[in-house]
Structure 1
Amino acid sequence: MIGTRTPVFYGWYIAAGGGALSLIAFGIASLGLGVLIEPMQQELGWSIAAISLGFSLRSFEQGLLAPISGVLVDRLGPRKMILAGVLLLAGGLLLFSQARNLPVYYAASIIAALGQSLCMGVPINATIMNWFQRKRARALGIVAAGRGGGYFIVPLFALLVTAAGWREALVIVALLIFAVGMAFALIARDRPEQYGMVPDGEDAARAGDSAAPASSLVGVSVSDALRGRAFYLLTLSTGFTAGQSIAWTVHQVPHMTNTGFSLPEAGLVVAVYGGVQVAMRPAVGWLADLVGRHQLYIASFLLQGVGLVFFAQLSTDRLWLLPLYYLTYATGHAIWVILFITAVADHFGPRRFGTLQGLTSTLTMPFGMLGPFLAGLAFDEFGSYELIFTIYAPLTALSAVFVILAGRPRGDFG
């Protein structure tokens, strides 16, 4: 299939494989592990704080590892990192299933977090950046749709835990992640030029002078990127939005149950949101490539800001706000989760994408830690999330200003 002419450009197979791995790994290792808190507490007698520390260690470690992961991706290639990451993630979950004391549990959490850092996020995104240029957002939309589908994995994982037990469930999903991850690693390839192709599947004769550098190999150096203001402005925009996004992820269900929704009703709102994301992310990826990624990226912050106001006011007495919330926040969120990644390659090129995205992840880590913490403090103080989500709304919209000040991306990078 590789190196031969086929009706479908090989990069699309890579995008589909990345979406499948993201569906399983993100659904289990990021969204689904919260299902285990109650059965672990009941069996092992650990405090909720002690169990939660394992999740905090994962988040902290992933933020610290992001630059290292990015450098390794740029030096060794994404495929090797994906192979190593899948083995570590599956191994960490298997060790997790056997944990009977806190040191083993924390060690398993760290190993799984290391594996997730190496096989998801930067490696998959770097592969997509290498294989696509004009169609980056479309390809990344497929991967992002897989992550959105992870919302549907959570109730299935909960059923598995109930039916088989939490230890047995972890063994099953570890083997599933291993199988899907190995399949993706087998089809993943670092760069199209290695197989006589060019990004987007363009015919080499139409791609320009064969002596010109291949577009997946161009880009500014890390030092040049760090000397300009664009990198820091883009990082600020990502930080402000990531902080509210993580706070929203953690506190959306408590906010709804606090405003009159039952737990199943709140779960239904979240499930519908996940369905909207799965349908919308490929569509907005296609639209971004068509109308311009830069303009749509700016719009994503404004849509999320307006949507947060609707969400802050949402209650069972104001259900008419729900479609407005889906229309604004869900749309802005779908655009943002794709384009905050492509923005790095569009501004600085794909050559050092892994390193630069890794640095961005580390620099925005404090925002991600503060966002949900401040939301929790606000609820403890006022007994409501309405004020904090209302405050987060203009801060999210402010990110649009940072992107505008960063300037338009270079045309030869995206």
Structure 2
Amino acid sequence: MRSTPNYGVIMVGIAFMLSTFAFGGLGSVGVFLKPLSAEFGWSRAEVSFGYTSMALSSAISSIFLGYIADKFGARRLALMGIVVMFLAMVLLSRMQTLWEFYLYYFLFGSLGFSAVGAPLMASVGQWFTDKRGLAIGVVAAGGAFGQGVFPFLARLITSGYGWDTAYYVLGVIFLILGLPLAWMVRESPTRIAAINNPEDHSAPQDHYPMKPAEVISWLGIAIIFCCQCMAVPIVHVVALASDMGFDPKTAASIFMVLMISGVFGRIAGGGLCDRLGALRTYALMSLGQTVSAIWFPQITNLIGLYGLAVIFGFFYSGVMTSLIVNLQVMTPPRMTGRAMGFGIFFGMIGMGLGGFLGGYIYDLTGNYTAAFAYASAAGVVNLCIIFVISLRLKGAITKMSSI
């Protein structure tokens, strides 16, 4: 499909909506924790592992699909992803055993979420130069919007009609609205040139202070700990609020507030990347995420929880946008798909570990205090790695300028 020079703005809108569906399905897991535990007798660690299954499958397949996106573009992958997400949700609505729960979420992550995630981010970022951070922030905001709206919708449907109907309705929404949008995905002229000439390394923009492998390795380690910090609140805040005595709809609304505030956090994070630089923005947002995560079990009144949800949602979402921008500005266009694929690989490992360990620590201790403390500890490790990356980057720039 041919591209037009001003199609980038349209691509931002398309990617925003597709991200809404993909992350909406990802974020809905926490809503089903207690209903599935009540019906099947599964522990919270067992149900949380469904999120881990989805995250790990996304991690592995994102690398492979990133390579495919670098060779063929994102459109066919987006179409496949929408169809697979629909099928996975329909299958989840009919499951009866724990292995089915894991298998269908594995399918959702491996060929659904990951087919929409990394390829789309790789595609959209290359449409822009001056405002790349802002464009990526808007697209990433779609994920936050989906993680706020779809879990709340799933909670409403579950309360009225059951968890099985909720899964089915989500799948139908993904299919009906997602397929036309996926069909409209296009690549930028820069990306098309990189796809058609993958071995051309002569372009000026193909020279960077750090080698792509080093960038991906350092950021990958940071991402693992960063995403553990964000995963515990994302997966467990609904169950935590329910344990405090709030009704299911109110508990789900806290999560919705967290995610909706993330819409602004992701856009603001992208704008800050354009002004402060991607790595500085990542450090700033990571600090806010780390400090706010530990307070969730300590605040027991509703207004305080809503306020904390706004703060955490803003910072954690800014982290996600700045990570994406870092991967894009520090690697060449010919490798954007692979860089995003590896970024999601490490991110999903961290998200999967955080989601599972949050439930596991809860099962060990009987409350969420230690689980959320663990989340903040992982955030501290992430901050230390960011400091090391900044030192390495300064050294590489100094060496390059002296040549």
Report the TM-score, using the length of structure 2 for normalisation. Answer: 0.79
Q: Distance in 1 between matches of 2:277 and 2:226?
A: 21
Q: Does 1:93 align with 2:76?
A: no
What does the per-residue CA deviation read over 1:353-387, in whole Å, with 9 as the maximum and x for residues that have no partner?
Answer: 22123234334555434334444454434843364
One-letter identity of the residue aligned with 1:362: F
Equivalent position SS for 2:225: helix
Change (3 A) 1:273 1:42: closer
Match of 1:276 among 261, 264, 285: 261
Q: Does 1:26 align with 2:9?
A: no
Change (3 A) 1:322 1:65: same
The 8 Å contact of residues 261 and 315 in structure 1, kept in 2 or not, is answered as no
Equivalent position SS for 1:131: coil
Q: What are the ranges of 5 or more consecutive residues in structure 2 without an aligned counterpart? A: 194-201, 398-403
Q: Distance in 2 between matches of 1:85 and 1:130?
A: 21
The 8 Å contact of residues 67 and 358 in structure 1, kept in 2 or not, is answered as yes
Q: Distance in 2 between matches of 1:176 and 1:237?
A: 35
Deviates more, 1:364-373 or 1:133-142: 364-373
Question: How do 1:322-361 and structure 2 match up within 5 A?
Answer: 323=307, 326-327=310-311, 329-361=312-344
Question: How do 1:173-188 and structure 2 match up within 5 A?
Answer: 173-188=170-185
Q: Distance in 2 between matches of 1:335 and 1:266?
A: 23
Q: Distance in 1 between matches of 2:17 and 2:382?
A: 30
The 8 Å contact of residues 311 and 321 in structure 1, kept in 2 or not, is answered as yes
> Which has the greater radius of gyration?
1
Q: Does 1:402 align with 2:388?
A: yes
The 8 Å contact of residues 123 and 191 in structure 2, kept in 1 or not, is answered as no
Q: Distance in 1 between matches of 2:380 and 2:191?
A: 46
Q: What are the ranges of 5 or more consecutive residues in structure 1 without an aligned counterpart? A: 197-211
Aligned residues: 382
What does the per-residue CA deviation read over 1:158-187, in whole Å, with 9 as the maximum and x for residues that have no partner?
Answer: 333444554444443323212322222222
Q: Distance in 2 between matches of 1:214 and 1:339?
A: 24
One-letter identity of the residue aligned with 1:395: V
Equivalent position SS for 2:217: helix
Deviates more, 1:283-292 or 1:331-340: 283-292
Shift in Å at residue 98 of structure 1?
Answer: 4.0
Equivalent position SS for 2:126: helix
The 8 Å contact of residues 301 and 400 in structure 1, kept in 2 or not, is answered as no
Deviates more, 1:285-294 or 1:346-355: 285-294
Change (3 A) 1:310 1:57: closer
Q: Distance in 1 between matches of 2:366 and 2:156?
A: 35
Q: Does 1:70 align with 2:66?
A: yes
Q: Does 1:306 align with 2:302?
A: no
Equivalent position SS for 2:130: coil
Change (3 A) 1:97 1:79: same
Q: Distance in 2 between matches of 1:391 and 1:242?
A: 12
Question: How do 1:176-325 and structure 2 match up within 5 A?
Answer: 176-193=173-190, 213=203, 218=206, 224-226=211-213, 228=214, 230-256=215-241, 266-311=251-296, 313-316=298-301, 323=307
Alignment RMSD: 3.7
Give percent identity, aligned residues only.
22
Change (3 A) 1:246 1:194: closer
Q: Distance in 2 between matches of 1:340 and 1:356?
A: 11
Residue number in structure 2 paired with 1:124: 120
Residue number in structure 2 paired with 1:209: none
Equivalent position SS for 2:259: helix
Shift in Å at residue 194 of structure 1?
Answer: 7.9
Q: Distance in 1 between matches of 2:285 and 2:136?
A: 16
One-letter identity of the residue aligned with 2:91: L
Q: Distance in 1 between matches of 2:290 and 2:350?
A: 17
Q: Distance in 2 between matches of 1:375 and 1:168?
A: 27
The 8 Å contact of residues 304 and 397 in structure 1, kept in 2 or not, is answered as no
The 8 Å contact of residues 92 and 111 in structure 1, kept in 2 or not, is answered as yes
